[in-house]
Chains A and B, each alone.
Chain A
Amino acid sequence: SQKIEQNSEALNIQEGKTATLTCNYTNYSPAYLQWYRQDPGRGPVFLLLIRENEKEKRKERLKVTFDTTLKQSLFHITASQPADSATYLCALSPRTYKYIFGTGTRLKVLA
């Protein structure tokens, strides 16, 4: 069956460091991958999208990589700040209207 894995354990990093979050998938050939941010008590908010033929995408302090051979996406936040503390979700879609979400990784940036 199709499966998406994100590190379920919280990631704690020091302010100013680079946070790296991982999204792995199996039995899947996604056309694209998205990353969302979710704060407690709120709905997810879109951050970045990367297509299957793209290796890397950047937006300000955010960077996403997509390796379809390894079936993995990495999400980086450089110069992290306490305000970056949240849960980050990855989502895949194989080429349909349906989206498959990972369970999310909780990031805590320590001041």
Chain B
Amino acid sequence: NAGVTQTPKFQVLKTGQSMTLQCAQDMNHNSMYWYRQDPGMGLRLIYYSASEGTTDKGEVPNGYNVSRLNKREFSLRLESAAPSQTSVYFCASRKGTSGGLPYQETQYFGPGTRLLVL
């Protein structure tokens, strides 16, 4: 059971380049999240997917797009990278039981992707 996996672990981009961050979970969770973590700012929600087939914006969605490819995978795309997107990106998943109280459930985080945009 790998939990939540993210690829790549580290990436350097030039301004204007595009890339996709991959995330997969093997826990059969319904909900998945993308966060960015910057010094002094804490974890900020970029996008989330409450269940397969749905996605919603979080606190800082500008400059990003997401795809919930299937129940296991949730990718984050930077169409035209900017230096302000230099950050550590974390993917997380949550069980999201139907009919339950979603906010009572914990999140499981991946190891992160460190992105540097020059």
Contact = CB atoms under 8 A, between A and B. Distances in A.
Interface of A: 4, 8, 31-32, 34, 41-46, 49, 51, 89, 91, 93-104
Contacts of B50: 97
Given A42-B111, A99-B45, A51 B102 contact: no
Given A34-B106, A98-B48, A89 B111 contact: no
B102 A97 contact: yes
Contacts of B98: none
Interface residues of B, number: 28
Contact of B106 (A49, A98, A104): A49
Given A32-B104, A91-B43, 8 more contacts: A43-B112, A44-B109, A46-B106, A46-B107, A96-B102, A97-B31, A97-B56, A98-B45
Contacts of A44: 43, 90, 107, 109
Contact of A43 (B41, B90, B101, B103): B90
Nearest to B3: A43
B100 interface: no
Contact of B41 (A32, A46, A51, A103): A103
A4 B43 CA distance: 11
Given A42-B112, A97-B31, A102 B106 contact: no
